[in-house]
Amino acid sequence: MSTRGPVLRVEDLHVWFDLPGGELHAVQGVSFELHAGERLGLVGESGCGKTTSILACIGLLPPNASVAGRVYLNDRDILEGGESTVAPHRWKDVAMVFQGAMNAFNPVKRIGDQIAEPMELHRTAKGRAARTRVVELFEMVGIAPERVDRYPHEFSGGMRQRAAIAMALACNPQVLLADEPTTALDVMVQAQILELLVQLSEELGLALVLVTHDLPVVAQTCSRAAVMYAGRMVEDGATTDLYHDPKHPYTRLLFSATPDLYAQEHIVSIPGVPPRLDRDIVGCPFQPRCDRAFAPCPTIAPPFVTVAPRHAAACHLNDVALERTQ
Amino acid sequence: MSSDAGAPLLEVEDLVTRYPVSRGLMGIIAGRPRLNVHAADGISFSLRSGEMLAIVGESGCGKTTTAQTVMRMIEPDGGRIRFRGSDITTLSHRQMRPLRRQMQLIYQDPYESLDPRFRVRDTVEEPLIIHGEGGTKDGRDKLVREALERAGLSPPELYVERYPHELSGGQRQRVAIAASLVLNPSLLVADEPVSMLDVSVRAGILDLLAGLRRAGLGILMITHDLSTAAHYADRIAVMYLGRIVEIGSAKEVVRRPQHPYTRALVSVAPSRDPRTGSRPQLLKGETPNAVHIPPGCRFHPRCPQAIEECKSVDPQLRPAGGEGQEAACILVGRNEHLDANGGGPGAPTATGPGRI
């Protein structure tokens, strides 16, 4: 690890959506940090707030959302002044590959021109220089440079996803937020794209947040992962530790529910459903579905604390384990 | 296989389904040749009662077309489909109707397959009304409740009056399954039954299907996920560009894949255990479209082991590997094949997740 501080540090992030039926507390205090060249998996089931969290980091939430908390980019809080402090960094320092980005290209504009757009917007390059950069980006993501003048329909799904990644890298960002970048792709193409992301983070020192519901993808791509449940962080640690020594029952159960080609064990689903986020949650949000819930769980919300070196979790079981060792 | 006395529940022989490609008015005037998408291009397999066969492949390989053709939802352009020993390939719609209740389809997306204005009762009762089954309202009601219980929605009173939006994704898929069970079918075709569901509830739906299979139903599961197929199916058929390139017992296909394509698929299936470092064997490019199928072996342009012969010889399925296992590759049994197979990608085994 470098001696420099984290590139991105998110502290106690909250997001509320103002909906016709009331207020929905989608993100309820998320904190994590990310160093240059690091790959962090942000995992959880649908509705757990993983996408909302990263959209909040670059100020791209819809108008009915309110945000609280701090997002430091190289020790400067970019959420502080709202849009005016986020906008200069968006795409330039923190870029994003949106879910389904490969299907979001304008069908009547050449791919190369679309990739040059953010550069012109942020005035990092224009005209011939922008075009040279597009060719450079194409080579970086593994697309033949002679395809710059092609239209999106002339690209396959995997190639369009590569182009979407190239577009995100246009202004040479330090942080790349990738939202389910391989979900709609076939396994073989998925493996190619993941290999590309790993290679980019290593070669460019890019800090990567991989948002996905797919645990095996994170296990094979990221060194660290943060598990979210009901808008909160429940565990954060090295992927090997999360799998071999989980500190939250949800993490263990999620792994046990995931089929593995190489494992023999029967896979088991987790009974019940996540709690509604438009009501206050008392106690641990996972308690009704937990197979190890005990006395404090229904009433006291477990704090998200460090339970081992570089390993944090929000579960009362760790207090018990701690007391036993003391 | 020989232990089974009766005919298989479903037999498919050399099935061909093509979709014509629109040439447009200009194309017709210009006399451009008629082109077809060869979605299923000579598919053969059989399925017994009490067995689950998974058809695995990437998008566009023809797996869904195969399933829909087998159910006569799409007209085949060639081949034979036998259901319980009798040929159904050319039956008219009227003749198919009594058979339809015996073969039911479960769709991928329970958010779309259920009518949002139908209560659970209405959804599950509808097939009974259409087929004139169950007698009186009370009779149908009893069957609806039984079907809900079989689908794991118990007690049924808790669910009958609800609308889809009041149910979770897993519960919706169970309602869809109940609606397919209410007619007491002998064949279930499940097209990606869990891919729209959250990881935490998938196992429940798959366990339900496994239980139905044990109870004697034949299940044809279409999936892109080799890991799911390996865990739940008895046999796996791997499809590539309209053909089955390998078929065999689920364990053998995954542990000792014989076709280079299957081997590549196995190698890219990521393990949930970070310590199980798989060695992805990335194939170049993507599956070509099914309009212009490469000559010879259709996989040869992407095959890491292709030899000159592969460009001209179209390989047929033949015995390879374990008992009942077949692969369509001319290299099967040759030295080059064995060399590449040494320490195949199926070798590592993972331990279960740690405890808390």
Predicted local confidence at residue B354, as pLDDT: 85
Partner-chain contact A244 B264, CB within 8 Å: no
pLDDT of residue B194: 94
Here the tokens at position A27 are 């993100």
Range of the domain at B67: 10-102+185-341
Q: What is the pLDDT of residue B335?
A: 61
- In what helix (H) or strand (E) does residue B242 lie, and over which residues does it extend? none
Establish if A194 belongs to a structural domain. yes
Contacts of A221 in chain B (CB under 8 A): 270
Is residue B1 assigned to a domain? no
Give the C-alpha distances (Å, rounded to integers) separating A54 from A78, A175, A312: 13, 11, 20
Pairing of strands A175-179, A22-34: unpaired
Q: How far is B82 from chain A (nearest CA, A)?
A: 32
Q: Average pLDDT of A71-98?
A: 94
Query: What is the pLDDT averaged over residues B96-101?
Result: 92
Whether the predicted pLDDT of B339 surpasses 80: no
Structural Rg of chain B based on CA atoms: 22
For A190, which residue in chain B has the nearest alpha carbon? B268
Structure confidence at residue A34 as a pLDDT band (50, 70, 90): very high
Checking if the pLDDT of A221 tops 90, the result is yes
- Please name the residue of chain B whose CA is at the shortest distance from the CA of residue A196: B282
Q: Which residues of A touch B228 (CB under 8 A)?
A: 259
In a domain? residue B68: yes
Report CB contact under 8 Å: B272, A260: yes
Q: How confident is the model at residue B122 (pLDDT cuts 50, 70, 90)?
A: very high
Residue A178 placed within a domain: yes
Residue A58, in any domain of the structure: yes
Q: pLDDT for A88-110, tens place per residue? A: 999 999 999 998 888 889 999 99
Distance CA A202, CA B97 (A): 60
With 80 as the cut, is the pLDDT of residue B347 above it? no
A157-197 per-position pLDDT tens digit: 889 999 999 999 999 999 999 999 998 888 889 999 999 99
- Collapse the DSSP code of B258 into the 3-class scheme (helix H, G, I; strand E, B; otherwise coil) and give the result: coil
What distance in Å separates residue A29's CA from the closest CA in chain B? 23
Is B124 part of any domain?
Answer: no
Answer yes or no: is pLDDT of B3 > 80.
Answer: no
Any idea what the CATH number is for the domain that residue B303 is in? Answer: 3.40.50.300
Q: Could you tell me the pLDDT band of residue B6, with boundaries at 50, 70 and 90?
A: low
CATH (domain of A18): 3.40.50.300
Using a CB-CB distance cutoff of 8 angstroms, which residues of chain A are in contact with residue B201?
Answer: 269-270
Return the residue of A nearest to B348 by Cα: A262
Nearest CA in chain B to A271: B201
| pLDDT at site B290 | 87
Which residue in B220, B174, B214, B218 sits closest to B194, CA to CA? B174
Q: Which of A243, A257, A258 sits opposite B354 (nearest CB)?
A: A243
Give the pLDDT mean for A219-223. Answer: 95
In this prediction, residue B210 carries a pLDDT of 95
pLDDT at A5: 87
The count of C-alpha atoms lying within 13 angstroms of the C-alpha of A154, restricted to the half-sphere facing its C-beta, is 13
Could you tell me if residue B236 is inside a domain?
yes
ipTM: 0.87
How large is the average pLDDT for residues B72-79?
94
User: Which neighbouring-strand residues pair with B238?
Assistant: B56, B246
Domain count, chain B: 1
pLDDT of residue B355: 83
The whole-number average pLDDT for the span B38-61 is: 94
User: B268, A188: Cβ pair inside 8 Å?
Assistant: yes
The mean predicted confidence, pLDDT, of chain A is 93
Q: Terminal CA-to-CA distance of chain A, rounded, Å?
A: 31
Give the model confidence (pLDDT) of B209-262 as tens digits.
999 999 999 999 999 999 999 999 999 999 999 999 999 999 999 999 999 999
Q: What is A10-78 written as a DSSP string?
A: EEEEEEEEEETTEEEEEEEEEEEEE-TT-EEEEE--TTSSHHHHHHHHTT---TTEEEEEEEEETTEES
> At residue B126, what is the residue type?
E
Q: How many domains does chain A have?
A: 1
How deeply is B288 buried, as exposed, middle or buried, from its count of CB atoms within 10 A (0-12, 13-18, 19+)? Answer: middle
Q: How far apart are CA B270 and CA A258, in angstroms?
A: 11
Residue A94, pLDDT score: 96
A187 interfaces chain B, CB cutoff of 8 Å: yes
Q: In this complex, do B200 and A263 lie within 8 Å of one another by their Cβ atoms?
A: no
pLDDT tens per residue, range B9-26: 999 999 999 999 888 888
Partner-chain contact B350 A260, CB within 8 Å: yes
Report the Cα B356 to chain-centroid distance in Å: 36
Prior bond of A259 cis (ω within 30°): no
- Tell me the pLDDT tens digit for each residue of B282-320: 888 778 888 999 999 999 999 999 999 999 999 999 999
Interface probe, candidates A43, A161, A188, chain B, greatest B C-beta count within 10 A: A188
Domain span at A317: 8-93+173-273+283-325
